[in-house]
């Protein structure tokens, strides 16, 4: 009997955790689908009374606020370039640190881990000045460079783990069969690394997509804004007068991240478990 009570209580606790976790996401979508005047009642609608896509149209097409589409374009350009460049550079670097033993290897890994810990908050001004010196402020190239450097340490560190998982013996036997070392990396290791590259790339994508502070400082001109900067500007400009449209904008920005995140989470949780075995 006591066991029964406990399991009911635990089930109830699970439901509470679920509701608390999901509610903000639900509330964002719920608000975004209602006309702005209906979310301003004395009793909030927990389910939309009138379904509308008007808020999304406002965000996407209303001329005064039409920064969304350019911002989306900027975000896509910067994010995709960042991921591609970072993956290539990180692949090369991770080969170096896993397949070779050399003097400065430890120093490099140490530097990578330390760089991870340098907060972007501290770097904004000097990054701004350095980019300014190279005439790269308010450019796609400038922001991409900054993001590549930001995601690179983590990309190298993660790929390093995946490359370690590909047995050296495979490369060696390919080389015995007459493959060059470069050929072995390219034909054997690279394809086997595909899942690792995808997972790492997706995480780089999410980071670059969500990055807010550096984009705010470096690409401040309206036509060069990325989505997070746009969303924040839109929210401040709209104030509290049109929460429905703000929620529509938030939804549009969050959806790609949520989808990508759910796609790779299996890899991540299994990784977390094996990470924990060693503890």
Number of residues that bind another protein (CB under 8 A): 120
Question: Does 135 interact with another protein (rule: CB under 8 A)?
Answer: no
Distance CA(230)–CA(70), nearest Å, equals 10
Interacting residues of 121 by C-beta distance below 8 A, sequence separation 6+: 213
- Which residue number, 28 or 54, has a Cβ lying nearer to another protein? 28
Cβ atoms of 238 and 246 closer than 8 Å: yes
- Among 189, 228, 245, 248, the residue binding another protein under the rule CB under 8 A is 228
- Judged by CB under 8 A, the chain residues 76 through 95 that form the site for another protein are 88-90, 92-93, 95
Question: Does 124 interact with another protein (rule: CB under 8 A)?
Answer: yes
CB of 239 to another protein, least distance (A): 9
Distance CA(231)–CA(253), nearest Å, equals 8
Q: What is the DSSP letter of 167?
A: -
Question: Does 173 interact with another protein (rule: CB under 8 A)?
Answer: no
- Judged by CB under 8 A, the chain residues 199 through 218 that form the site for another protein are 199-200, 203, 206-213, 217
**And the tokens for 91?**
């692949």
- Which residue number, 53 or 104, has a Cβ lying nearer to another protein? 104
CB of 77 to another protein, least distance (A): 18
Dihedral of the CA atoms 142, 143, 145, 151 (nearest 10)?
A: 170
């Amino acid at each position: 009997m006591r066991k029964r009570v406990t399991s009911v209580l635990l089930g109830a606790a699970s439901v509470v955790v679920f509701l608390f976790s999901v509610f903000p996401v639900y509330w964002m979508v719920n608000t975004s689908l209602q006309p702005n005047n209906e979310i301003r009642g004395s009793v909030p609608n927990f389910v939309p009374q009138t379904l509308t896509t008007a808020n999304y149209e406002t965000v996407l097409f209303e001329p005064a606020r039409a920064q969304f589409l350019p911002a989306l374009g900027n975000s896509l350009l910067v994010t995709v370039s960042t991921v591609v460049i970072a993956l290539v550079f990180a692949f090369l670097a991770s080969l170096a640190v896993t397949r070779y033993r050399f003097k400065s290897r430890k120093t490099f890994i140490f530097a990578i881990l330390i760089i991870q810990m340098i907060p972007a908050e501290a770097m904004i001004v000097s990054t701004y000045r350095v980019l300014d010196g190279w005439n790269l402020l308010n450019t796609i190239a400038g922001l991409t460079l900054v993001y590549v450097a930001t995601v690179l340490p983590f990309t190298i560190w993660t790929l390093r783990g995946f490359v370690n998982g590909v047995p050296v013996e495979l490369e060696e036997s390919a080389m015995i069969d007459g493959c060059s070392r470069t050929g072995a990396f390219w034909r054997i290791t690279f394809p086997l690394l595909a899942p690792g590259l995808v997972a790492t790339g997706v995480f780089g994508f999410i980071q670059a997509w969500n990055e807010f502070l550096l984009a705010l400082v470096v690409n401040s001109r309206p036509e060069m804004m990325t989505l997070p900067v746009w969303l924040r500007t839109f929210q401040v400009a709209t104030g509290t007068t049109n929460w429905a449209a703000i929620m529509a904008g938030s939804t549009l920005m969050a959806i790609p991240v949520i989808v990508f995140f759910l796609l790779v989470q299996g890899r991540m949780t299994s990784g977390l478990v094996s990470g924990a075995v060693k503890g």
